[in-house]
Amino acid sequence: MATPSRKSSTPSTVASKRALPRDPPSEVPSKRRSSAPSAPPPPPPSSRPFVEGSIVRIVMENFLTYDICEVSPGPHLNMIIGANGTGKSSIVCAICLGLAGKPAFMGRADKVGFFVKRGCSKGMVEIELFRTSGNLIITREIDVAKNQSSWFINKKSTTQKVVEEQVAALNIQVGNLCQFLPQDKVGEFAKLSKIELLEATEKSIGPPEMHRYHCELKNFREKEKQLETSCKEKTEYLEKMIQRNERYKQDVERFYERKRHLDLIEMLEAKRPWVEYENVRQEYEEVKLARDRVKEEVRKLKEGQIPMTRRIEEIERQRHTLEARIKEKATDIKETSQKCKQKQDIIERKDKQIEELQQALTVKQNEEHDRQRRISNTRKMIEDLQNELKTAENCENLQPQIDAITNDLRRVQDEKASCEGEVIDKRGEKESLEKERKSVGDNIVRFDNLMNQKEDKLRQRYRDTYDAVLWLRNNRDKFKQRVCEPIMLTINMKDNKNAKYIENHISSNDLRAFVFESQEDMEIFLREIRDNKKLRVNAVIAPKSSYADKAPSRSLNELKPYGFFSYLRELFDAPDPVMSFLCCYYHIHEVPVGTERTRERIERVIQETQLKQMYTAEEKYVVKTSFYSNKVISSNTSLKVAQFLTVTVDLEQRRHLEEQLREINRKLQAVEAGLIALCERNKHLEHKDNELRQKKKELLERKTKKRQLEQKISSKLGSLKLMEQDTCNLEEEERKASTKIKELNVQKAKLVTELTNFVKICTSLHIQKVDLILQNTTVISEKNKLESDYMAASSQLRITEQHFIELDESRQRLLQKCKELMKRARQVCNLGAEQTVPQEYQTAFQDLPNTLDEIDALLTEERSRASCFTGLNPTVVEEYTKREEEIEQLTEELKIKKVELDKYRENISQVKERWLNPLKELVEKINEKFSNFFSSMQCAGEVDLHTENEEDYDKYGIRIRVKFRSSTQLHELTPHHQSGGERSVSTMLYLMALQELNRCPFRVVDEINQGMDPINERRVFEMVVNTACKENTSQYFFITPKLLQNLPYSEKMTVLFVYNGPHMLEPNRWNLKAFQRRRRRITFTQPSQ
């Protein structure tokens, strides 16, 4: 990790324009191992023109940049000067926090622990305030771990609340921008609203009771608004209550009218169940009579069905007898039919036997004819073979020719076998080469896929660069020397885990840059790509002399004890121009890469190796030496995850594979050419082999032809002898067949006679069966008619019975309903089971309608009339009375509220007079001084009390209007209208206007002159000196990093210089008197020179 360089500062003298010896010492001591300088003790409070609450002494220990520091400001203007970062604003922070200010007000940090010097566990701030009764010493000790503070007053422990009370008693307001304006809050002063500026001004320069009066006025006005609202609401509510009660007078009258209608409705509802009961009772009697009539009808229908049932049973018995006889006849017919079938089958078998005898005779006749034909053919064939045998030549001289052809055939077959072996070998060699070519091609495709992944990443992230790569690949012939594609494509990581080091070391602009060896080539490329194609690409030139193989300044073996395992250059491969460029401009041959072990001992590595850059497992370290202090400063950053170089493509191996593929293709071509030649040769040998075989076959056939003819003649003679011996007597066979056929015809005639008798018997049985079936059909028809009549009678009986059941159920239902209606009618009249209807009900019922329709019509009418009286209930009269009492109570409360409102208005008038008049006078004084200050700068400005409504005391505010050019009008000071310098001048002059009127013991303004132009800065400085150095003005702290030359100074000013650096004098060795004596001697000796 980086070790921050330490700064130190030395005390400076309290210098005025004349640097008088009597001026009190004031210094800003060292930020390192410093203590209060040995200086004469300050004069007693009575001899110093401090106002009540001014700061006499400030002590800081382990606070921000300070180790130990003590500052003794003057009673009037204190000018704190020092370069940026020396610790001026640290004094302002010490004043704020030492006087119980909030850390967030400083705008630096929200926790007090952040103000303690780094590396320290505790810090301390001590402020000594002037007080006529005895100075007040406030001490604040800060604990970093707990982020808490311990408070002491005059070395005695106390609480923050007590400190805040003591500080407030001295009218010190470190949270008021009109009194305390730190560096980070300067811009916020102009952002104060008019209301906030008035409140800050009241607290800052107004009498203590002014702000209190203002707060009372705002509270009184708020109470007044609340009382006015309350009185208005109560008045409106009271009027509504009175109006509502007026309406309720009519409602009470309508309530009684509605009650008369409800009583009539009650009586109608009481009579209605009795009328309904009587109607149901009459209906019950009618249903009972109808049920009895239907019951008699059912009895008559049942008696009429008995004869019909008996006749149906008799017919059914007759039908069963006929069906039994029909079954018997069917059985006889079946048996006779079977006998006919048997006789018919026998006749068919006899016919078949006759046919078979005739066919056998025909076969024998055909065989005899065929034998005679074959004998004739064989004799002719023997004659032809004997003639051919006579003409056959002598074949004894053919054997030498056959032997010569056999030898030629054996030689050709040997050559053919040899050729086929070579073809097999060539084909095996071809298959092996094709497999090898496929393997190499697959490897090349795999490399291309990896390369495509890198190109896809380039296309997605840098499309212009990708398009330029495609153009380059198609136009390489336009360049004289080598042109390398973007570095991210040409770099090939040996281990993709190390890609993060390369990507964090080489900028993204250079990673996508094209590398050229020639300036001319680069100009051609950029002219075409940037100017013509409008693509945004980067290009670099490799050094003329190669750096690719340049050795590192120190061996890697020297660095291995620190955990380093490689230099960046050894982690990847790249073309020589790319490697040379990276070594030249990124020194990759000098930057080592370490492990987690390196990070653990990083401080030792930085001190001992003196490396400028290095990498650990997850961090990059850069070591620099300070130009001013020669201190070693290191910084570290976490490594980003690699995005582009994680894909590894071994280009050398890919080139080797391409060469291997070309060699394989060359070999394949040679093998295929040899294979074609062998195939042609093998084809020629095959043709020759076939020719020799054909010649040999012809010679062998000529040699064996005579022997074959003799064998055929002998064979044919044997066959002829056998055929002549196999003779057959056709006449005898014909006679035997004729005898058998006659016998079979006699048997067949007898069987036909028997079959005819069985057919006659079967016909007679069918006639008898048909007659029985007709009788049965007649019986069934009669039965169906009877059953139809019976079903009709039964259906009528079921309908009548169902009607009877329905009537009986209706009777029972009506009986039950009568009982229920009687019970309900008695319940309505509150009668017991044995009680009769009271006379009062009977009398009332006589005047009411006697039918349900009339009762329902009258009920509807009365209910409609009663429904017209909506919103009425028995509690209307009670609510009316209760509301009358509430109206009386509200009237009394309203009177009390009005008296209280008049009292508040009187208080507002009194407090307003005590607050507004002094405030107007105070604002007028501020305006007078503010306007004078602006007039002296040839500008214009005014301050007024602004409000939109005189009664809205929370809307009162102070409005500042300024103009810096004569051609413009006065404009209100806002964060947007004026420039930064104009806002700073306006803020400073407003604070100056408050200075003489101020009742606060001191004022702090930090670096407000930074945005001013030199003219305004000089004018404002003069005003600050003249105003802050007057008698009876409060203490003033003005912090600035620089001043203009030849500014006016006052003897009442106190100038505090803040210096720092490694060669400053230690504070305990600083002697103000000795410094003054040396200064006087130099001053006195200068004229003589």
Question: For residue 204, what pLDDT is reported?
Answer: 63
**Element containing residue 539 per DSSP (H, E):** strand 538-541
- 563 contacts 608 by C-beta, under 8 angstroms: no
Question: Chain centroid to CA 631: how far?
Answer: 49
Question: What's the one-letter identity of residue 548?
Answer: A
Hey, what are 974's tokens? 């806002």
Statement: the pTM of the whole predicted model exceeds 0.85: no
Question: For residue 102, what pLDDT is reported?
Answer: 82
Question: For residue 206, what pLDDT is reported?
Answer: 66
Question: For residue 771, what pLDDT is reported?
Answer: 85
Residues in the chain with pLDDT < 50?
Answer: 1-47, 1087-1089
Q: Which residues, at least 6 apart from 10, have a Cβ–Cβ distance to it below 8 Å? A: 29, 30, 1059, 1060, 1061, 1064, 1065, 1066, 1067, 1070
Which 3 state secondary structure label does DSSP give 883? helix
Instruction: Give the pairing of strands 55-63 and 122-129.
Output: antiparallel
Hey, what are 587's tokens? 């020194």
Question: For residue 744, what pLDDT is reported?
Answer: 81
**Element containing residue 1036 per DSSP (H, E):** strand 1035-1040
Please tell me the number of Cα atoms within 13 Å of 457 on its side-chain side.
16
Question: For residue 14, what pLDDT is reported?
Answer: 35
Instruction: Give the pairing of strands 971-972 and 957-963.
Output: antiparallel
Hey, what are 813's tokens? 């239902």
Q: Which residues, at least 6 apart from 367, have a Cβ–Cβ distance to it below 8 Å? A: 728
Question: What's the one-letter identity of residue 205?
Answer: I
d(CA 783, CA 314): 9
Question: What's the one-letter identity of residue 236?
Answer: E
Question: Chain centroid to CA 385: how far?
Answer: 106
Question: For residue 38, what pLDDT is reported?
Answer: 34
Question: For residue 658, what pLDDT is reported?
Answer: 77
Question: Chain centroid to CA 157: how far?
Answer: 56
Which 3 state secondary structure label does DSSP give 136? strand
d(CA 203, CA 252): 66
Give the count of beta carbons closer than 10 Å to the beta carbon of residue 46.
7
d(CA 312, CA 319): 11
**Element containing residue 816 per DSSP (H, E):** helix 730-828
- Alpha helices by DSSP H, 851-1006: 852-867, 876-936, 980-997
Question: For residue 207, what pLDDT is reported?
Answer: 67
d(CA 141, CA 155): 11
Length of the chain in terms of residues written: 1089
Alpha-carbon dihedral 348, 354, 355, 357, rounded to 10 degrees: 150
Question: For residue 996, what pLDDT is reported?
Answer: 59
